Structure 1
Amino acid sequence: MVKWVPLVLSVILVGLLGHESYAAFSPTDNYLIACGSSNNVVDQDRTFIPDSMQSSFVFKSQGNSVVASSNSSVPSQIYQSLRVFTAPASYKFEIQQQGRHWVRLYFYPLPGSVHDLGSASITAVTDDFVLLNNFTFKNYNGSHLFKEYVINVTSDSLSLTFIPSNNSVTFVNGIEVVSVPDELFPDQALYLSSSVPLSDLSNLALETVYRLNMGGPLVTPQNDTLGRIWENDRKYLHVNSSAVNVSVDPSSIKYRVALTPEIAPNSVYATAEAMGNPNVANSNFNVTWVFPVEKNYMYFVRVHFCDIISLAMNTLVFNVYINSDIALASLDLSSSTGALAAPYYKDFISNSSTDSDTLMVSVGPDTMADITNAILNGLEIMKISNDARSLDGLSSVEGLLPKSATKKSKLGIIIGLAVGISAAVVLIGLCYCCLVARRSKTPHQGHPWLPLPLYGNSQTMTKVSTTSQKSGTASCISLTSSNLGRLFMFQEIMDATNKFDESLLLGVGGFGRVYKGTLEDGTKVAVKRGNPRSEQGLAEFRTEIEMLSKLRHRHLVSLIGYCDERSEMILVYEYMANGPLRSHLYGTDLPSLSWKQRLEICIGAARGLHYLHTGAAQSIIHRDVKTTNILLDENFVAKVADFGLSKTGPALDQTHVSTAVKGSFGYLDPEYFRRQQLTEKSDVYSFGVVLMEVLCTRPALNPVLPREQVNIAEWAMSWQKKGMLDQIMDPTLVGKVNPASLKKFGETAEKCLAEYGVDRPTMGDVLWNLEYALQLEETSSALTEPEDNSTNHIPGIPLTPLEPFDHSVSMIEGVNSGTDDDAEDVATSAVFSQLVNPRGR
């Protein structure tokens, strides 16, 4: 027998390890009341007890109450009985655990009652909140009514009172008072109308208006750990054909540590509505749901997501809108959760639409993403009680309860006056303190995580305040290093962007919105304003400043300055008039680029990356090279942008940097993705994808294409290896490209896209080959094809690879110790001086 003990223990251990890491929520208070019933009622696997069986709750009525029951067809078992009140009546529940509670009410006017229940007026209040006020079924388009509320109970009891009015009666069929997990509802959520959090939600009541299971069937209380109902979303879709249902096995949903089925069951996260036409060119294509709501109320909106459609990380990036506000910009679900099929949710506060009694929720593509698709798995919309502490009208509890029932109102008034006077005294004191603090306040208060100077070296940064004649605001400029950039005051940013005028919006990225701005001296700038709801934040903001403050190059976008006042994270760049390279390749109606223009743009970007890899004391790896991060100025000069993910390269005695995988899927180095080992060759791979994107004018990933064409790197390489790259190139280039130039370009891209980094060229080699391809194009009229097709050089001209960038031209403490890109351009010109005029020899 002893020999079986280890086996038994191992089986038990496996069972324990295989068990879910979370336990089902067990409510401390769990009142399920069948009003007017004489027996227990089982409804959807839950047992409701008669209200006549008073144990831990007390039922009181000022008049007679009548019970009624029916054996006829009812919506569900809880509606088969009711209690009718001819005078105010209340249920008082003992509360074992203070905090938020569900209060659920069931109403169904049973036929055959001695009273006309269809005309009965129903008013229901708690100790502090009005839930219903003069509701009647005569004006209601439905046979039965279910209401669900969230009330924060702060005492050891909760009273629920039903009040008849207009010489009528009132009634109720069923009542639930059930504890809610503390983590289910936050104490604050972001108020979209003001972009600041609305706090003290625990002091307000909520009423569930809509709870939807997107793309899935009705979820009943027995399939939800908190007894909730989730209905299908289809009838709220603005355009039915705009969305398609997607689903997976619910068992595949992976709850993370901080999120449990109490937030939403796995059956909700296992279904979704996705875009009906993914990868659309029209950025205005959104999937929109429209909900009728009451005006003059605020609404708590919770959006649920779970990436159940992606095959790999970082491929699904989209925007979320509530009414006309962007709630989540460039949401990357897999980055937010760290896994696929992992639930994720966000909370917001919104009002009804300004021009109608509706609330709209939309998801749509991020135009800068590689795959344009969007999903929504679940949605909850809850009405928030108003200033009268009511969820139905402007009457307060005190105004609805009979006078005898409000004995504590006078005491409340006295306490309120005392509290009000005390608050006034405290407020006066705070105002005085603020006034004193304001007088002693320094011109600029930065984030504690961003001390100035940015770099801990022997130089100290001296700041002087320069006052704008126009705005009277001050800005701080470093006197010791022009490379650190300008420190803008927030008012200067507001003036430059006309208070962030939406007509000046250039685009929306993972960090936030980018606006066109004009400084007081007329300088055009691009202003990137950090979005507090973005998944990117302080780390990317600091990285961008630190990287660009150390770097100056003709082919890197220049950081003019930044602002961190008022908890803002704002970066100010030089303005790039022609925007991202991608917009000139596909998805817009901009004129097509010539082959020479494309080569010059690729050469410019390669110079910028080559400088990053070799031009500083320690190399810098960009880590997010793609066509949206290559910007073009008014002369179509290419500059590399967006250094939020950049990483310092390996030291001399190292071969790589071990780090978590970040970047854009479709451009990711497969070796980096597998081994999490980052090198400069990771940028080379991404640049190879860019080269093919430039040639073929299509996205790096396009899931609507046949499987073999989805990934541009794999697809283009299959044609390159057959020597038929001209078959998939941009049709506008056909017949306009020198074959030798195209061949050299294809060979360069092929080497960049080698599976292993050791087989890829350096950016210096890439640059040389692209320069060569350009010279072949420019001199094609004077050249003849070489007999030996294995080489594509001009006869009689020796080709010497570009020497590695001179490390003596390095950055010391953020200052370039040598010349910048001019030195590089001179060196490049020397190498290619013989190619510029081949007849000169």
Structure 2
Amino acid sequence: MLQCVQGKKMKFLMRVCHVVFYSMGRAQEFVPVDNILLSCGSSSNVTIDGRVFVSDNTSTLVTATAVGGGGSSVAGSTLQNNANVDYPTLVSSARFFTVDFSYTFKVSSGRHWVRLYFYPFSYGNFTPNSSLFSLCANEFTLLNNFRSVAFSSFNKPLVFREYLINITSSSLVLSFFPQPNSYAFINAIEVVSMPSDLLTDDATLVGQQTSQPLGLPGIALQSMYRINVGGATVNPLNDSKGLYRNWEPDSSYLFAAATGTTGSVLFSDIKYGNDPTYIAPPAVYATARTLGGSETVSLVFNVSWVFPVDLGYTYFVRLHFCEIIMSAINERVFNVYISNQTVLSRFDVIAYTKSPDVVLYWDFAAPMFEGSDANLWIQIGPAPNTALQDAILNGLEIFKMNNSDGGLSGSNPYVAVSSPPSMALAPTGSSKSNMGVIIGAAVGGVAVVGVLVAFICYCCCRKPKAAKKPSTPMWLPLPLHGSSPDMSQGMTNSHKSGKSGAGSYVSSVPSNMGRFFTFAELQEATNNFDESLLLGAGGFGKVYKGEIDDGSKVAVKRGNPQSEQGLTEFQTEIEMLSKLRHRHLVSLIGYCDDSKEMILVYDYMSKGPLRSHLYGTKLPALSWKRRLEICVGAARGLHYLHTGAAQSIIHRDVKTTNILLDDNFVAKVADFGLSKTGPSLEQTHVSTAVKGSFGYLDPEYFRRQQLTEKSDVYSFGVVLMEVLCARPAINPALPREQINMAEWALKWQKMGMLDQIKDTRLAGTCNLESLQKFGDIAEKCLADQGIDRPSMGDVLWNLEYALQLQENSPENFVEGPAGNSTENDLTTNANNSSSSMQEVSVLEPRANQSVMSSLTLSTEQSLDISEEIGSEDASAGDIFSQLIHPEGR
């Protein structure tokens, strides 16, 4: 026994010596081009761990100026006697700003780390609780209404933030915007170049199987968590040379008692293969957490880590693997889960690395929608039917990606001005991510009372106003809805009375749904809803062009009190768009529900609906390439709806009037008033009353009243044919066999003659292979049975391929509008309303005749199918009056 103990001690001492010598003797791995370390408010340079932070009074690489002229900054200092401060010398000074102020750093282009140090202390009239400010880095908003004392505590008074920003010019401008009667401050700043290959623009979206570009060159990120799984802290000095990252242990984030076991090897055993050695230090890969192997084979469980996050953002997650125990393929096969979805199935590290002790990392993008759990879960667990029920993870990193407004600010805890720093941790009430912090701070009865007081103050007080000049709008990016189960009832009651007991209007929509506009603001924005600004009208009401206070052009949809659509659609539109952010989805800016109005405010799409560019107007014809690009964009938006959330969203009203185009003809899917949350994992469909637009309605959905994502696929197939043929989905003025456009086009497609019915303005401009691929995918979308239709992801892939065929066409077709000379044939179809109406019955279209015939019995069903009818459909007549009416969508 003594020999065994002595042997273990000797092995431990050898490992310690190895770590020391390895750290001292390893080669330089990265030398940053820019390495600007700034000590703010200091009268001299400060050296920390061998790194020199230059005083902001003397640095030649930084220019400090008051924005707009006037005003000044103040340097302050304090004595540091708090043993809990990580860098007492560095944060003993600060610069205070009472006016808008900026630091301009001269740097090279490329991605940089921007590290900020905030240590709140009192100096003269500057007290920590009085500081409230916003901070921008070039076009990105890093902090919004930030109060550092809200994030500090007696044990951890220093607030540290790390961002990853790609700089495309020769300078980085950090701009501070203090609120009126408040101030901003900063203690120290680092601006350090990153290795160009540390982050690659390629990741697997959670819920999908293949990786795809994320657009990282144009995205800023915030470091949220950097974890050494199964190991100890790796401080910046022991990180890869030149990177100075801090890796914390995973013990604080483990969920429940099922924590598995840890293991480690010598640092020298780690091999990087083709990966750069700075991906993560050897100390991360040399340690790991596993399930425990054969010892727990009868106890099948997952090891879980839980990370509080801000909702409404997408998170870049990097998982680090290194098989330091097993030595052959198939010895350890396991599953990896993110946000309760499988991201790696039957994963075997050695199957990829080919040998043990070789590093491997995998990148994922995890959207965290509002209304969901405000925790990002990462789990590893055994794969079914494997000999060894085990799994392994060595490290992980989580970065927040900026939203579409360029924001990274997240949620800020509300802090009562009178609260001391150690008690200033009360939550906003809208995010669960602060609960862990609250529990940690609520030690003893005094802290509990402090939290309760702060919470009561929050409930009674309005949130502070947004920063004066951040580059983002003054409202936060639309967060996920947080409606309560009785929200719908609350809306109904509100709009019945419109008043509270005190006589003030009671808003029927939760305040976290985007910007709230007053009715007076929207009257001013639209010149009192001037009819000359009218963009169009639909089932909900009229849409006006407007301009809000920040100069942004908007589309204002004002609800019509006489419309058959109302509260339900109003609520659904807000809820759906508040939890969705995508390049190809129209953005909801805000809403108004005062003065008994129901008004929605969107980004203005200057090119209007796709339908207007196909027929019924005198707009120039779209080229075939442009049409393909628009279809690809719309397909991306729908694909995101179907797969971008833990539970899919079915649009339920896909049509060309709900595909809007911006200045650059980028397609954006709009109008979510009929949208439904898709089926759960245990379900195959959603049983619901039939709603949609006549001509686009899925026949299987109509027959069975069972809604699936394939219902959107069918409607999109109609859109594809409409794009090709440039005619309405339903036109009763045409001969009987041509009334239903999808049915008519399918016949020509099956004969291999689809090019015979394409828009005549496309003559001579379509690559035949591109057209054939387009027709094939449209035909599959229009399959009568949902099981025979492709997923929207497959539709997107085929459309992208059709676009590629067109772009690579040897004919070198001229780009731009295909010409207007042959428009007459199409406008004849589209505007044939003046022709004599033929005797047509709704029973007569031959395809899906049983479906169409059942329309005559729809009065006993919950059927609400309609179509926006322009001038071309005005003579449809009474025969279609039950389907086509002014109140239709």
TM-score, normalisation: structure 2:
0.44
TM-score, normalisation: structure 1:
0.46
The structure with the largest alpha-carbon Rg is 1
